[in-house]
Amino acid sequence: MASTAAVPEVALLSGNARPMPAIGMGMSKYLLVPETTRDAVLSAMEVGLRHSDTASLYGSERPLGEAVAEAVRRGLVASREEVFITSKLWCTQRHPHFVLPSLQESLHNLQLEYVDLYLIDLSVSLKPGPAVFPAKLEDAMPFVWREMEECHRLGIAKAVGVSNFTTSHLDKILALAIQYPYNSNGSLLLPLLLEVALRWIYEQGVSPIVRSFSKERLKQNLEIFCFFFLRGKP
């Protein structure tokens, strides 16, 4: 059953991605079960969510892609173009010669021709190979932005950006960027009054990514567009 709440969309400042739905489903849980992940994404689409946020590190790209294909087959969405997919370049892939192959690998996992948004995750670079925690930083800021812009030029990333960057690192990219980077920052531990917190975040001009696999919770998340805060005179 689709949600009765219309989800607003946000136009990105650069690139040629479709407008981004103002709320999305986060998929950063570890030890994901593929079948559970796939079913959760289908549940999200049934209630009206059209934005999924994944990454190669999460291990959720393949079940997400399967869910998108199944949603099209079931008629939950008319086509892949109705779905907004974000994926990310992890720290161990943050080297110029790894950017394009990493996105191509993500697209292979997703079984898609493009992602709507591709982000550099964190403003540090780690040695290539399996992620090891605690991590040793190899360097602070490798020059990979031009390769991100190449992914956009090739049409396999409709928009590109960064995630969890400091202002100083973002300034370094802005100094050389042709494509203005979309900036995604921070994670929040939300209070019990979840809908109120999400509505407040939305009213600050931020598109929240909510990590939940519960269909009822996913539906409740969309209800933030059914109310607004009344503001008195100062």
* Amino acid (1-letter code) at residue 199: R
Q: Which residues contact 124 (CB under 8 A, 6 or more apart)?
A: 91, 94, 135, 137, 138, 139, 140, 141
Nearest residue to 179 (alpha-carbon basis) of 204, 149, 156, 158: 149
Cα–Cα nearest to 71, from 85, 92, 88, 59: 85
Give the active site residues.
58
3-state secondary structure of 78: coil
Q: How many CB atoms lie within 10 A of CB 170?
A: 17
Tokens for 63?
């079940």
User: Around Cβ 72, how many Cβ atoms within 10 Å?
Assistant: 17
Helix (H, G, I), strand (E, B) or coil at 17: coil
CA 57 to chain CA centroid, nearest Å: 13
Tell me the C-alpha to C-alpha distance, in Å, between residue 172 and each of 151, 166, 169, 213, 218: 19, 10, 5, 37, 37
